[in-house]
Structure 1
Amino acid sequence: MTSVPKTRFRLEGVDCPSCAAKIDTAARRIPGVTEVMVSVTTQTLSVTHAPDTDLDALIRQINSLGFRATRHTPTPIPLSAISRHQPEPCCGGHHHDHNHDHDHAHNHDHGGREDAVVTTEHDHGPSDGPWWQSPKARLTIASGVALVTAYGVGLVLPHYAVWAFLLAIAVGIVPISWRALASARAGSPFSIEMLMTIAAIGAIVIGATEEAAVVLFLFLVGEVLEGVAAQRARSGIQGLAALVPKTARLETNDGLKEVAADSLTVGVIVVVRPGDRIPADGEIVQGDSAIDEAPVTGESVPKTKRTGDTVFAGTVNGDGVLRVRVTAAAADNTIARIVQLVEEAQESKAPTERFIDRFARWYTPGIVVVAALVAILPPLAWGADWAAWTYKALAILLIGCPCALVISTPAAIAAGLSAGARRGLLMKGGAVLETVGRITAIAFDKTGTLTTGKPTVTDVIGFGTESPATVLTLAAALETGSSHPLARAILAEANAQALGSLACDNQAAVPGQGVTGTIGGDQIFLGSASSAADRARIGEAEQALIAARSAEGKSVAVLVRNEEAIGLVAMRDEPRADARRGLDALKAAGVAPVMLTGDNRATAEAVAALLGITPRADLLPRDKQEIIRDMQSRGEIVAKVGDGINDAPALAAADIGIAMGGGTDVALETADAAILHGRVMDIADMVSLSRRVMGNIRQNITIALGLKAGFLVTTLLGITGLWPAILADTGATVLVTANAMRLLRWRGSAV
């Protein structure tokens, strides 16, 4: 099958949706272009086109609009040039017959070919530099100098003042008029530049040259301020990409080698020294350290990470040397995925934004018609003064500029998406951001979503005179070296209690039952209650203890020494530390939570009781999907939160699907949003952020339309003229942009 060519361009000077709309319209008029995607955030243009499309003509068309387009060529990095150090295979484990069912799976396949090629497609381009070096700023400075000079000439040589102001007008209006004509030829006749050109020419005709020069200067100042605000919004998310270090210390067969961080491939080992930023997503294979994740997650307290724990690119290693196995290439690490998802999301318009765009397409021509009627009707119908009403019509043209209205929604959405991404809350588009705030019910998976996803020891009980410490010490000795989740839970608990270690000989796994070994001459067995009962007599009191723990949804392992049951260790996948607080916050926001899980009813009800949530247990993937559809049929707007492959159907069925924490690639692709850092409270924060963004949008629309309506009335009454008119547009644009930028300071709940 023949692939359709797709070319990417880097843009300069694209600061608002109106700019993007002009480029979109112009690009679609080039023969052969079939699909266009313009990103204001990344200042990029992607076009799908026929093989014989004249891309040079496309560049010329865009440049004629006052922007600058250059073709972007990714830099290939041959993986075969990178030294590889294959890590030792993981030690094998054993399986206890504890029937600890997980209702999720993590199947990541990061395999790759040695001779593959990585391309740095995810490119942000160079920094825009200081604002005063931009073409818009240079034009504004030139216009300001010309305006000041004109006032100086007017004071010294009054007879030449008109000519001086005409020259000042020309400095600003010539490039603006050129852009207006180019936009008209490219299919956008009702542009802000065209309205400014008409207003300037009309002002000259009626002799208001001084006002025209000032209005042009104020318009250019407004464009510069808009550009500065847009750059700030861009830097909010682009700055995240800069967190990843440029180099990494790669472990090779010949020792450590410093290489480019973006050349790291899955499976290689890197060494991270104290104080260094971690160069890639990975898993610690050796070392313990406190990791400062604040740059990525916003958490103020460093997290202690040990062997087997995951780490994120861009986070800071604290006090220990770490050996980290890379689990994601540079293009797929946490930060790269955040930036990519946010960029794609900002290109996706929310329903409110689409409505505003449709409204603006009719609004601007309507303003031109109204201005023409204001200039013509009063003089013709009632003999009013032509110059006075023409002046009012020109002011209405300026008041009617749609910039503030058009930018009111996307500015808030872009800021909201960026602020959320800085906290690990990813939403795939404005439509998702808008809908999240309207959800009325939310369905949670249990394992790995409401719970930590791994068992922890909850009870250690000695039978008869045996102490819990003895039971745990013997169990830990048996489990030493095992990678089984239940074994790791026992070892972690023994380590937390600082219990001494014992040597275990003849250690062996008994398939489907447990593990045996010899400790101090005693034969020890640890396994399920049924397997332990085959090796030792378990009294009624001990059976009652086992039954009680099992009823609480816990996995129970019984310890047998020399054919005598001496104790038990109970384990359960416990709720996340913030799960109850997060669910309570959702209830307070008017969102009703429910638990959907494939686990057995006893386990589900035990966890649900701790969290204060209604459980639905023993569910297959299709059952979860049917429950979601039933909730929707009752008028609920439903979100589904999960992290496993079996959550994908329900995630797709829900109004909003949210992938939780280190979820599988399938869940992340299916979901509309993602919570990267495994906090239930983040779900409530996402709802709160959505509602704050929608409130900000309503404020912006009120500001934009309110100022225009007010100045429209005062202009018709003859109270205000051209200067206040341009301030109504420029001022409103700056106000709504500044108001939207307040969202960048959003931090969510305290961590």
Structure 2
Amino acid sequence: MTPSSPGPAKTPQFAKLKLSPLSQSDACCESAACDAPQAAPEIAARLSWRVEGMDCAACARKVENAARQVPGVSQAQVLFATQKLLVNAPDEAREAVERAVNAAGYTLLDSRSPAVASSGWRDWLPVLVLAVLMLISWGLARINPSFGTLAFTATTLVGLWPVTRQAIRLMRSGSWFAIETLMSVAAIGALIIGATAEAAMVLLLFLIGEQLEGWAANRARKGVSALVALRPETAVRLRDGQRESVALETLRPGDVIEVAAGGRLPADGRLLSPCASFDESALTGESLPVERQQGEKVAAGATSVDRLVQLEVVSEPGDSAIDRILRLIEEAEARRAPIERFIDRFSRVYTPAIMLLALLVMTIPPLFLAAAWQEWIYKGLALLLIGCPCALVISTPAAITSGLAAASRRGALIKGGAALEIVGRVQQVAFDKTGTLTAGKPQVTAIIAEEGLEESALLAFAAAVEQGSTHPLAQAIIEEADRRRVAPLRAKAQRTLAGTGLEAEVEGRIVRLSAPDKLEIALPERWRQRISELEAQGQTVVAAVCEGELLGTLALRDTLRPDARDAVERLRKLGVQSVMLTGDNPRAAAAVAGELGMDYRASLLPGDKVAAVNELNRRAPLAMVGDGINDAPAMKAAAIGIAMGNGTDVALETADAALTHSRLTELPAIISLARATHRNIRQNVAIALGLKGVFLVTTLLGMTGLWLAVLADTGATVLVTANALRLLRKGR
């Protein structure tokens, strides 16, 4: 059937999206560590690889640092979401870059090679081994303290081996004070003063955190690869009247392909068949199938709803609508500076400063003041223990872990501490319409029958004509008839009227369903006025005609989520502004935005959404909430992307957070929780550094020694952990 349309259908204009090569201004990581020149000279090639072994966004900076050490490299940028390393350098530098990155502990593969699946439990093997050794050491310490000390020392050395080896690799590649260096210094310092159990525990917690971050990163990358799944691996090409199955890469502009009903388009094409309906929701966000006429363009990834169609290919291999969306995601990722963990940044100054201070305390008084070596070595060791970053290492992750756990209890999955911190800074929220603010499924909202005909009779005629159709509007009419328990009528001789609608013989009479503007009869003024009012409200109208006489109309609409209005109001109370970005037509968008009292922008393609998000994001931190593949680039361009739990795999995996129960009312609750977590982190850092500062002074004055130094470190750890656990109450 052909739904009425408030305006002409818009063909996705993905050909307008021109993505420029990685520029110096866009690609620069914008961190203090970036030493790329502001104006790069001309280069012979733009090299690319896929990087294996990155656990977090901080790893991206380490890979970039390693690549920049190679002579001839003028620019290095890691696109963390797609695991790509892009390097501006002559082609002969390829092997040198690969050697440099491999020496830093990461693996470079061909950018077109498939991702290697995680080995599962084997990734956790070092953590399990260290945990078992910790339990054995604890048991020995209960029986014999001396044996326990030796056991904890051996356990620490086992855990230190991979961490210290990676720290040395990173030092050689230019990352002198990475978090691996921080952990090595902390563990070795604890061993020196005999805090063997604490040294082993720090390493265990660090390894667990690394594995969890690696798991989350792998999950996020799977979402990008799901874009490719929108295209079939093969296509049916027509040549000299013969059908042949060919690989997607062999299609060229001008080829004629055939797509069966329910099949996806492998490439952008121009419709050769007289007319057809296509589900383009994955690309444009339009909730209802769009009718395309002969000669109109249809984007790759769209689904032919109800018939076999023929199209002429208009896109080059690797340049279809899906490919462009993927590049939009990468471009948005390239413009964002790599997210660095707080402890990794702080360690650049903290770790060398503590080591230098401890060394000065051990050597200056004996050398220049004739003080006793033993006394000042003792004070230096105590200072080193005070400087042990155990409390600092735990302070931020403890708060983040509690915040993430509380969020999960409320039905929100937030992918990491950086995402949680950004959620707390959000001052604007951009919503997609279909499937986010609305249910994403059309429903019958009004049945208006001609005088002398009951609503149930009109619905029975319409449902009979629609029987067997897979069109979403047809399904909505049939479901409404079932819900009202309308007695079914028999229909036969059903047929589709190209570009007009459907008709069938019902109870011996020909009944036709069509859009009002496709009717062959003139409508009375009162009916035209009613239909205009319904369409002005963003509703789709279907007219039923029997043998030249109007039976009535049915109005259908994608209805608001029950909690949408409440969620927008709660956001307003938090000082967060709301705006709707949608691919739907302006009248449908205006109707929904009017009910919610928010601003809106309509008829947006994926590239338009990215531009709108970038504009809004420049004013204040913006969260983008959506559920479709078309929302994925905008989610990446926003300060934070939030997906609905009932959305597509790509939206869920591309986003930094997801509302797993699809309850919009949890969004303001999560923003409040994120703000509380950020306050908790500041409190924890103040506790950890404050206690260390106090004991630093008392140790130098000789008022405290090793035992109180241990208490300063472990006491601060206990305090920051207890403070972080308070966040769990907010998840109830």
What is the TM-score normalised by the length of structure 2?
0.60
Give the aligned partner of residue 289 of structure 2: none
Residue 680 of structure 1: aligned partner: 664
From 710, 717, 722, the counterpart of 2:706 = 722
Equivalent of 1:563 in 530, 538, 548: 548
Partner of 1:572: 557
Matches within 5 A, 1:488-637: 488-532=475-519, 534-535=520-521, 538=524, 540=526, 542-617=527-602, 627-628=612-613, 631-632=616-617, 635-637=619-621
Counterpart AA for 2:688: A
Give distance in 1, aligned partners of 2:615 and 2:70. 48
Partner of 1:292: none
Distance 1:481 1:447 in 2: 25
RMSD over aligned CA atoms reads 6.0
Alignment partners' CA distance in 2, 1:692 and 1:491 = 48
- In structure 2, relative to structure 1, the CA distance for the partners of 1:531 and 1:144 (3 Å cut) is closer
Alignment correspondent of 2:199: 219
Equivalent in the alignment of 2:133: 138
Question: Corresponding residue for 1:121?
Answer: 116
1:566 partner amino acid? L
Q: Which amino acid aligns with 1:722?
A: L
Render the CA deviation track for 1:340-385: whole Å, top value 9, x for unaligned: x9xxx9xx9975625x423312212211232233345556777665
Which residue of 464, 467, 470 corresponds with 2:457? 470
The Cα shift of 1:436 comes to: 2.9
Post-superposition Cα deviations, 1:84-111, rounded to whole Å, max 9, x if no partner, equal: xxxxxxxxxxxxxxxxxxxxxxxxxxxx
Q: Is residue 631–residue 638 contact of structure 1 (8 Å, CA) maintained in 2?
A: yes
Q: Give yes or no for contact 1:196–1:398 (8 Å, CA) kept in 2.
A: no
User: Quick one: structure 1 residues 748 and 616, their matched pair in 2 at CA, closer, same or farther if it must change by over 3 Å?
Assistant: farther
Question: Does 1:401 pair with 2:388?
Answer: yes
Residues 137 and 152 in structure 2, CA contact (< 8 A), matched pair in contact too: no
Equivalent position of 1:443 in the other structure = 430
SS of residue matched to 2:692: helix
In 2 relative to 1, CA 6–645 (structure 1 residues): closer, same or farther, beyond 3 Å?
closer
Does the Cα contact within 8 Å between 2:624 and 2:634 map onto a contact in 1? Answer: yes
- Structure 1 residue 594 displacement after superposition: 1.8
After TM superposition, give the deviation of residue 503 of structure 1 in Å. 0.2
Superposed, 1:264-303 pairs within 5 Å as none
Unaligned runs of 5+ in 2: 1-43, 222-230, 234-261, 263-278, 282-302, 304-328
Which letter maps to 1:590?
Answer: G
Give the 3 Å change call, closer, same or farther, for CA 386–417 of structure 1 in structure 2.
Answer: same
Please list the CA deviations of residues 685-726 of structure 1 after superposition, one character each: whole Å capped at 9, or x if unmatched.
553454344334324323322332233234334443213323
- Distance (Å, rounded) in 1 between the aligned partners of 2:517 and 2:187: 85
Tell me which of 681, 696, 702 is aligned to 1:697. 681
Distance 1:364 1:236, change over 3 A: closer
Contact 2:189 2:388 in 1 (8 A): no
Task: Letter of the 1:698 partner, please give it.
Answer: R
Q: How far apart are residue 671 of structure 1 and its match? A: 6.2
Report if aligned partners of 1:140, 1:217 keep a CA contact under 8 Å in 2. Answer: no
Equivalent pair of 1:226/1:737 in contact (CA under 8 Å)? no
How far off is 1:125 after superposition?
Answer: 2.5
- Work out the percentage of aligned pairs sharing the same amino acid: 41
Partner amino acid, structure 2, of 1:466: L
Q: 1:479 to 1:610 in 2, by over 3 A?
A: same
**Distance in 2 (alpha carbons) for counterparts of 1:148 and 1:19:** 42
Taking the aligned partners of 1:641 and 1:499, their CA distance within structure 2 comes to 39
Among 352, 355, 372, the residue aligned to 1:368: 355
What amino acid maps onto 2:556 in structure 1? M
Q: Tell me the SS of whatever aligns to 1:465.
A: coil
SS in 1 for 2:481: helix
Q: Residue 199 and residue 47 in structure 1: after superposition, are their counterparts in 2 closer, same or farther (change >3 A)? A: farther
Q: Which deviations, in whole Å up to 9, do the C-alpha atoms of 1:310-348 show, x marking residues without a partner?
A: 9xxxxxxxxxxxxxxxx9xxxxxxxxxxxxx9xxx9xx9
Answer with 611-620 or 511-520: which moved more. Answer: 611-620
1:454 aligns with 2:438: no
Q: Distance in 1 between matches of 2:156 and 2:521?
A: 95
SS at match of 2:511: strand
| In 2, Cα distance between equivalents of 1:10 and 1:618 | 41
1:397 offset after TM fit, Å? 0.6
Q: TM-score, length-normalised on structure 1? A: 0.58
Inter-partner Cα distance in structure 2 for 1:567 and 1:379:
101
Cα 1:141–1:72 change in 2 (3 A) is farther
- Counterpart Cα distance in 1 of 2:615 and 2:219: 43
For residues 193-246 of structure 1, give each alpha carbon's deviation from its aligned partner in whole angstroms, at most 9, with x where no partner exists: 556656766xxxxxxxxxx5x5334433554566677778889999999xxxxx
d(CA) in 1 for partners of 2:165, 2:496: 81
Whether 2:341 is the aligned partner of 1:353: answer yes
8 Å CA contact retained: 2:159, 2:204: no
CA distance in 2, matches of 1:733, 1:19: 26
Specify whether residues 572 and 191 from structure 1 end up closer, same or farther in structure 2 by C-alpha distance, changes over 3 A only: closer
Q: 1:370 to 1:147 in 2, by over 3 A?
A: farther
- Superposed CA deviations along residues 662-693 of structure 1, whole A, max 9, x for unmatched, are 66788779866666765534544553454344
Q: Provide the rounded CA distance (Å) in 2 between the counterparts of 1:400 and 1:729.
A: 8
Q: What is the rounded CA distance, in whole Å, between the counterparts of 1:379 and 1:389 in structure 2? A: 7
Which residue pairs with 2:24 in the alignment?
Answer: none
Residue number in structure 1 paired with 2:697: 713
Please state how far the C-alpha of 1:391 moved relative to its aligned partner.
Answer: 2.1
**1:479 Cα deviation (Å)?**
1.0
Cα contact 2:465–2:491 (8 A) shared by 1: yes
Question: Given residue 608 of structure 1, which amino acid in structure 2 is its aligned partner?
Answer: A
For structure 1, the residue ranges without an aligned partner over 5 or more in a row are 63-68, 74-116, 153-163, 202-211, 242-264, 268-284, 286-307, 311-326, 328-340
Would you say the 8 A contact 2:354–2:387 is kept in 1? yes
Q: Which letter does structure 2 place at the counterpart of 1:121?
A: V
1:5-56 per-residue CA deviation (whole Å, 9 max, x = no partner) reads: 9898889xx9x9999999999999999x99999x9xxxx9x99999989999
Deviation at 1:597, TM superposition (A): 3.9
Cα offset, 1:403, TM superposition:
3.9
In structure 2, relative to structure 1, the CA distance for the partners of 1:7 and 1:23 (3 Å cut) is closer
SS in 2 for 1:436: helix
Aligned to 1:302: none
Query: How much does 1:568 deviate?
Result: 2.2
How many Å apart are 1:451 and its aligned residue?
1.7
Assess if the C-alpha contact under 8 Å between 2:220 and 2:653 holds in 1: no
**How far apart in 1 are the matches of 2:214 and 2:608?**
43
| Count of paired positions | 573
How far has the Cα of 1:501 moved from its partner?
A: 0.8
Q: Which amino acid aligns with 2:678?
A: M
Aligned mates of 2:464, 2:66 — CA distance in 1: 72
How many angstroms does 1:495 deviate by? Answer: 1.3
